[in-house]
Structure 1
Amino acid sequence: MPDQENTSREGENETSKVLRGVGRDKRCEWKKLCGSEFSIICSLVAMDKRRTRNMMPGLLFSPLCLTVIWFLSWSLCPSCAQIWTDEVSGEQYGRLESNVTLACNNSEIRLPVSWHLSHSTVLPWHQVTPNGSLVLLHANHSAQGTYSCYDNSGRFLRSIKLRLGHPPGRLTISCQVPNHTHVRCSWVETVKTFLPAEYNASFSNGKEWSPCIVDVTQKHCDVVHPAFWQPIHTLRITETNALGSKNTTASVKLHELLKPDPPESVLVKELEGYPKKLLISWRFPSSWPQHDAFPLIFHIRYRPQGSMFWSEIYSLDNSIVIWDALAGHLHQVQVRTRDEINAESQWSEWSPLLFGRPWEDYITPEPDVEPEDIFTLPTKSKPEASTPKSRGSKHGDEGNLGLVILLVLFSVVILTTIFSLIFVVWMRQRRRDHATKQELTSMVKMKSIPI
């Protein structure tokens, strides 16, 4: 009896271990996917429990039987294991138009395996090595996706997400200097990598490197308070992705790249009482520091609308009066600016085109007064005008008729002459043909006479 009790307890412990190892969620998946097989296992386990309660020995209590039951459940439901573990094991990057190798597992044991691409057995141009690795030949964009590896029994082994692209190339860098305290440099990729990248930028004045604050989404970086008195600066940008990294450097001359933003709030007003004057005003660019150490010079141009030639004037103030405007005409006005001290700096872009008209003196016209003592008499212009008109029309009709008759006669004469010439030519040709025939006939007769 003690041996039977020990055997029963061992069987119960093994059964509980199997069920606990599976877990509640996985038991539900088993029941859903495996159906009758799970019912058989559950019935066997229930019998095991009843016999354990009754303290009766049986074959089901043995660890060997429980191991067989567990193995049968695993082999009958390979899809269950696939659902539990069908997750991406890792992400792999490869170079476009090259051979990419995907390993099924880390072991070197040669097992027959099968590969699927996004749950499809259709794969790009490939080869499978003896150790189960998948080699994609000259992989292109269509080869990207999630690859899954299975053994010959359909058991899931590994899943890999493949992304293809190119390593970084050289960048095209351009910098803008809107004022003495701010530098913004942007870049454009010369090689489309198709892969996520990280950027690291630094700025040097020839002595030390300082960080350039990077905005990855806009692909630019900003430097605040650079050493503007240095003639040449160096910008270095490093692009890094999963296939490698690339450094790009560029030399920057801040004093030559200095280009303010256009003037703001440009206005064109008339001056009352002056038909040839216009008042033009504007504000400094908001990005330019309002400090006496950074003066600006302004360039103003204007012309009457429709003219091809601009009149130009320069000013250090933020307003100016034009004295030579064309009275009564609409004028076009634009303003731009530049650093006054730095002659190598660049002019800003022109401000938007504005229109203005000089002052005009509007005089109210007086109404016309008709004299009351003047009156008109009725006239008989219509009957008098109709008589000569009708006569003239008759003469015109007669003249047109005579012209038509002359044209008809002239055409008849021309046609008669043409037909006569044709007839004469035909008759002459006919006579020539007749004479030629007679000559030939006489020659034949003479040849036929015996000598």
Structure 2
Amino acid sequence: MWALRAAGLLCLLRAGSEGPCPRTALLPDMVLSTVGANVTLPCLQWQPEPNGTVSWKVENKAVSSEHAVLGPSLLLRLVQYNDSGRYSCYVGGCLVHSLRLLVEEPPEPPSFSCYRRSHVKDILCEWQPLRRPSPRTRAVLWVKKWLTGKNATEQRCRYFPKVEKFKCRITVPPSEDDTFLLVSVCVSNGAGSTVSKDQVISANRVLKPDPPVNVLVDPVKSAPQKLRVNWTYPPSWDPKFYRLHFQVRYRAERSQSYTEIDQLRETSLVIHDAWHGERHMVQVRGLEEFGHGSWSEWSQEAVGTPWADPIDLEWQTGSYSSQFPSDYDFYADTFTLPPGLYGTEDTNEGGRGVGDHSTVPLYTFLVTGASLFLGTGLLAGIVLRYKKKWRRGSLGQGKARAVVQHPLVPLAPPSPTSPLSEAPLLSPPASPGSVSSTGTPGSGDFGPFDVSNMDYLLVPQ
């Protein structure tokens, strides 16, 4: 007995969940066609007359020249949705026959999803068909409580051409936020009908806030690695009774990976590890404070750059002067120096921006300056070294001239008992004009020098 009751209840639930989803009924004067087909509409009541002329109108307007009239029938080639309407056949200005053309394709099986923007909003279920539906397409949302099958309702869905989506609305009382609902969708038109798969939802499970708005990224003064981020709650969420917590992600413009900061209760944040001088992309999303539902979509990207010292910014990317004296033409073609270095100012009246100047990177200028400084120092060292040597050489010659002005003193007086000659070991210097008895200079006498003493040839160093 219990098995039979359970089987009957299961059949009842299935029947209630699927329900009738019939195709739209066609009236006797309707002609159904698919998109892209050729359609022939007959003028059945017309009889050939010698002076009778046949004409066709669609919705009381003359048929365009794109359609061909073949005798008592109208041929429509490659019909589209907008060709649907009532066509009338006239003979001699009198209405003879009227037909309604319906151009439709069988509907697509809907794949819908449901969400709720806040605790005080209704549940919205929506889906986007792959192709635009015909005007006669009808969509219905079936809702009932899970397992009990009570309070089954039918909600009409609307198609919004601007967003190209079907949307259905479910109203849930505040006391039933945790109640499970069985939901399905039926879509039908004159060409057929289809039913979606069942979904089990609840108001808390489908809670999904809108993304935060008014996201702003500002620099922090005197902090080249910090950014201050501020945002506000979305308009659909009232923070007086229900709160959100937030997640922020950011990245430098040159980076492909995000850094994320979670569990934020306030609507502001200071980033402490921003890249100096780099633009950063920042996004924020929110989740219900008790974790019900899912995260919102990420907000639109907000852009900000950390604070930079105005002096460094002017030196690296500012407006530089290119006016140089004629002696520096070579360097003027190679480098761009900051304004005021040579007492000149930027004459550009257009207020050119940072990206409008062709400047040499700072490190290139520093390397070149260091090279010039080292080269100048090396040249000065060489000059000083040779100057000292030349001075020492000149001093040595002066000392040599001074030595020859004084007579040499014998190393030791001769001993009285010495058997050697009494002549001194070194002959006293002769006068510059003395000669030997033979008429030639004496032995060892060569002008004012005594060549037997090698000290004459040594120059003090």
TM-score with structure 2 setting the length:
0.45
Compare the two structures and name the one with the higher helix fraction: 1
